[in-house]
């Protein structure tokens, strides 16, 4: 077994997100086309001797463009929760030293915490030689959050139900995009409460699949998100930022997940880098150029 495993936890974009009305236990069914991109948090996991107490450090990576206070209890961090859940599953202590360096904004709708949890499960399995099968990993993931199961594998997939039903797509879409990081975060629960205040909620998985099945390049107008309007209601400044970004880009600015991150689809890598620089100057907001990318495998040392 290795003494150390380094895992990259990628952000995800919702290129399509349809949300249904809440069911009896107030949870919302979704249908979404999710794709991972090459913006990553980094987990550095070291195995400690048997009987040691685990140690955790969560900090911002020097490259992080939008840094908010890390003000949550360490026991509530999703990567730490994934570690504790894995210990409960295998019935023994798995002592580690974790250094988590974050680049993905908190409250940004990019699945950063969920991706950290998924990376922890994968890295811990490798570090301690657990031999977890797909069913065990999936059970851990679905118990932690609705995006975690997808982010175990990443890539491109249709995600349905409460995030537990995955239909991986045979190939990655080829796209480049610019991400904009407003100062305002969007708490997921608050955005869903706004969603419930709006009439006409209807789950439409066929619309999601139809977009994912289009061949050729993605139309920059095509992404849609049923949580975009609720996010703008929760954070009113987001509406103006979205409008201004679209004006600079000359094409629509979309909301990822429950917000607040906005994205604009670009023609190629050069276009994405140029637009990121131009929009950052014009709007005085952090911007990052990204591309669709498969989830990187953890590296053992």
CB atoms < 10 A from the CB of 281, how many? 11
CA–CA gap between residue 66 and residue 181 (Å, rounded) = 6
Detail the DSSP E strand segments found in the chain.
4-19, 30-47, 55-60, 96-102, 156-161, 165-168, 176-180, 224-225, 254-255, 262-266, 287-291, 299-300
Q: What are phi and psi of 36, to 5 degrees?
A: -85, 150
Q: Is residue 23 annotated as a catalytic residue, yes or no? A: no
Q: Which of 41, 77, 116, 147 is an active site residue?
A: 147
Q: Which of 12, 77, 102, 125 is catalytic?
A: 12
d(CA 294, CA 301): 22
76 is catalytic: no
Q: Which residues contact 11 (CB under 8 A, 6 or more apart)?
A: 36, 37, 39, 40, 104, 110, 111, 112, 115, 290
Question: How many Å apart are CA 224 and CA 256, to the nearest integer?
Answer: 9
Nearest to residue 175, comparing CAs of 80, 33, 67, 68?
33
Query: Distance between CA atoms of 198 and 195, rounded to whole angstroms?
Result: 5
Backbone angles phi, psi at 72, to 5 degrees: -95, 155
Q: Hey, what are 68's tokens?
A: 């908010």
Q: What proportions of the chain, in percent to the nearest 5, are helix, strand and coil?
A: 35, 25, 40
Residues marked active site are found at 12, 147
């Amino acid at each position: 077994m290795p003494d150390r495993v380094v895992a990259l936890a990628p952000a995800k974009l919702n290129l399509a997100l349809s949300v249904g009305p809440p069911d009896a236990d107030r949870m919302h069914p979704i249908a979404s086309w999710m794709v991972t991109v090459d913006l990553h948090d980094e987990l550095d996991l070291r195995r400690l001797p048997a009987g040691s107490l685990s140690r955790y450090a969560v900090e911002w990576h020097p490259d992080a463009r939008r840094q908010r206070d890390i003000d949550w209890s360490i026991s509530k961090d999703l990567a730490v929760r994934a570690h504790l859940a894995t210990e409960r599953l295998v019935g023994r202590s798995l002592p580690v030293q974790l250094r988590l360096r974050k680049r993905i904004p908190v409250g940004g709708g990019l699945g950063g915490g969920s991706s950290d949890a998924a990376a922890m499960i994968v890295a811990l399995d490798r570090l301690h030689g657990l031999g977890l099968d797909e069913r065990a990993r999936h059970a851990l993931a679905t118990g932690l959050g609705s995006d975690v199961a997808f982010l175990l594998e990443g890539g491109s997939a249709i995600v349905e139900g409460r995030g537990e039903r995955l239909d991986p797509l045979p190939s990655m879409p080829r796209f480049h995009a610019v991400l904009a990081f407003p100062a305002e975060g969007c708490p997921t629960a608050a955005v869903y409460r706004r969603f419930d205040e709006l009439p006409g909620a209807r789950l439409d998985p066929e619309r999601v699949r139809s977009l994912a099945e289009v061949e050729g390049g993605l139309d920059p107008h095509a992404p849609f998100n049923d949580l975009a309007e609720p996010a703008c209601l929760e954070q009113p400044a987001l509406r103006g930022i979205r409008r201004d970004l679209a004006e600079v880009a000359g094409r629509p600015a979309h909301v990822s997940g429950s917000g607040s991150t906005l994205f604009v689809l670009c023609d190629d890598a050069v276009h994405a880098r140029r637009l990121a620089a131009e929009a950052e100057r014009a709007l005085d907001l952090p911007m990052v150029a990204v591309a669709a990318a498969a989830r990187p495998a953890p590296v053992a040392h």
